[in-house]
Chains A and B, each alone.
Chain A
Amino acid sequence: MATFRQSVELTIPALRRYARALTRDADIADDLVQDTLVRALRSEHLFLGGDVRSWMYTILTNLNRNRLRSLARRPAMSSLEDNDAPDASGPEAGARDIQRALASLVEDQRHALLLVVLEGLSYREVADVQGVPIGTVMSRLARARAQIKNFLDGERPTLRRVK
């Protein structure tokens, strides 16, 4: 049987992926994962079984929400990467577009969408991670997809015109 520690260790690559997509910044993402691991190991006595992976996603999601709350009190920062678009075609541009589209989402919607499409969690699992009913997860998902579609439909021509 895997120990708690081993189970935690196995989640690290996926946590990094989730955090990277959430923050769109490799360093901030790894900070978030680091804090998540510290919390998880300190709270081991509270873990009485169940799915370690969901538990880790829950901690990371909560910490990310706290992080954004504290950022909201500071002046808004725009990432250089977000504004710098030298080439608006090809797969590179597609990757940048999806990155900017994700950035345009409300945090809870971004959590829900990424947990489903990137991390492969079921609606039920996402509901547990976010601490909301499944219906709420589904409406977050629907709004996230509509927003991304609007963003991509509206944004691409603008970019081309700028170039």
Chain B
Amino acid sequence: MIDRETPVTEEELHAYVDGELPADRREAVGAWLAANPEQAALVAAWRAQADSIRARYGDVVNEPVPERLHLDQIIRNDITHSRTRGRTWAAMATAAALVAFIAGGGVGWYARAVTTTAPAVFDRFTAEALDAYKLYVVEVRHPVEVPGSEVAHLRQWLSRRVGHELNIPDLQSLGLKLVGGRLLPGPTGAAAFYMYEGPTGERFTIYCGKAGGPETALHFKSAEPFASFTWVDDKVGYVVSGPADRARLEAVTKVVYEQVDKTAEKKG
């Protein structure tokens, strides 16, 4: 039934123009406006304003997006020229953050925290790891310095050079075989680099070295067609890189994370 008795308020007129009124009230306001030309003129003026705004700016969506707004470009620039403003990187407990992240169940988002930025070292770490990934993942004959068959030697050598007792994760459960590893320069000293390969030739790498910074949450960086997960735990930074299939990379990261964590517990 149409409610013709309730007086029409100005708020309702706005809601009428913006399509926010329930259907019955909408009809009532429409009928009321037919009998109130002054208010009808006001409504027409608001509609004309909206039409002018849409006529003036509506076409922007049809313009080609400039290159500097392409996400690849944005990610590239952000990694290589890490900016320094607004450093309030949430030092969330890594384990808790990882669980929340991997489980991915939570609802809502934290708009108030969107100004959070990662520290520069952290970004450089990710950038170096992705560079190493890109450089060595295409290498067919010499992807590594020490082959995976000499894993004990590899672990001993890299641990000594990096200055931290390292564990080389076993990713057989994911069908990934250790190709081997090499030593690389990192932003804060020597870094260890391991490469894994799946039956179809997909390659994943782990890059790790002393990061110095506080523990961080897991951070995803996509640089199509590659992507990586980065985190800092016990003053060591880890970057797991691979093809930009996020679900697969997440699965790999989870296993790496668990094995790295186990080592830390054993020590403690």
Give A contacts to B, CB under 8 Å: 3-5, 8-9, 12-14, 16-17, 20-21, 30, 33-34, 37-50, 55, 58-59, 62, 91, 94-95, 97-99, 101-102, 113-114, 116-118, 122-123, 131, 138, 141-142, 145, 148-149, 152
| 7 CB-based A-B contacts, threshold 8 Å | A12-B65, A16-B63, A30-B69, A42-B78, A45-B217, A48-B105, A122-B20
Partner-contacting stretch, out of B22-30, B108-116, B194-202, B205-213? B108-116
Note all chain B residues with C-beta closer than 8 A to A148. Answer: 49
CB of B268 closer than 8 Å to a CB of A: no
Residue contact B54 to A117, C-beta cutoff 8 Å: yes
Residue contact A98 to B220, C-beta cutoff 8 Å: no
CB distance from A13 to the nearest CB of B (A): 4
CB of B60 closer than 8 Å to a CB of A: yes
CB of B52 closer than 8 Å to a CB of A: yes
Give Cα A141 to B104, complex, Å. Answer: 36
Q: Which residue of A lies closest to B90 (CB)?
A: A46
Residue contact B61 to A117, C-beta cutoff 8 Å: no
Most buried by A among B11, B53, B111, B222: B111
Residue contact A17 to B52, C-beta cutoff 8 Å: no
Residue contact B11 to A21, C-beta cutoff 8 Å: no
Note all chain B residues with C-beta closer than 8 A to A122. Answer: 20
Give Cα A86 to B74, complex, Å. Answer: 39
CB of B50 closer than 8 Å to a CB of A: yes
CB of B218 closer than 8 Å to a CB of A: yes
Residue contact A118 to B114, C-beta cutoff 8 Å: no
From A8, A9, A46, A114, give the contact of B53 (CB < 8 A): A114
Q: A34-B74, A45-B217, A91-B55 are in contact. List 10 more A-B contacts (CB 8 A).
A: A16-B60, A16-B61, A42-B117, A43-B115, A45-B219, A49-B104, A49-B108, A94-B52, A95-B52, A101-B49
Residue contact B61 to A13, C-beta cutoff 8 Å: yes
A-B complex: 4 closest residue pairs judged by Cβ atoms: A48-B106, A17-B60, A98-B52, A13-B61
Residue contact A98 to B68, C-beta cutoff 8 Å: no
Q: Which residue of A lies closest to B59 (CB)?
A: A17
Residue contact A117 to B49, C-beta cutoff 8 Å: yes
Note all chain A residues with C-beta closer than 8 A to B8. Answer: none
Give Cα A20 to B58, complex, Å. Answer: 10
Residue contact A98 to B69, C-beta cutoff 8 Å: no
From B68, B71, B97, give the contact of A30 (CB < 8 A): B68
Most buried by B among A33, A40, A97, A117: A117
Residue contact B114 to A59, C-beta cutoff 8 Å: yes
